[in-house]
Amino acid sequence: MRVITGKYKGRRLVVPAGLKIRPSSDRVKESIFNILPSLSQDTIVLDLYAGTGNLGIEALSRGAKRAVFIDKHHLAIQAIKKNLLALGIKKEAVIYKRDILKGLNFLKDTYHLIFMDPPYAKGYVEKTLNLIRHLPGLLAKEGIIVIEHSPQERFSLEGFLLIDKRQYGQTEVSFLQTE
Residue 9 lies in a domain: no
| Structural domain that includes position 111 | 26-178
Q: Tell me the per-residue pLDDT of 5-57, one tens digit each, with 9 for 90 and over.
A: 999 999 999 887 765 666 677 788 899 999 998 888 899 999 999 999 999 99
Residue 7 lies in a domain: no
Q: Tell me the per-residue pLDDT of 120-139, one tens digit each, with 9 for 90 and over.
A: 889 999 999 999 999 989 99
Burial class (CB in 10 A: 0-12, 13-18, 19+), 67: buried
Residue 59 lies in a domain: yes
Is the whole model's pTM more than 0.75, yes or no? Answer: yes
At residue 37, the pLDDT reads 87
Q: Are 138 and 176 in contact (CB under 8 A)?
A: no
Residue 156 lies in a domain: yes
Residue 18 lies in a domain: no
Residue 56: closest CA among 12, 129, 114 = 114
Report CA Rg, the chain: 15
Q: Are strands 139-149 and 160-168 parallel, antiparallel or unpaired?
A: unpaired
Distance CA 116, CA 59 (A): 14
**CATH label of the domain that carries residue 165:** 3.40.50.150
State how many domains the chain has: 1
At residue 16, the pLDDT reads 74
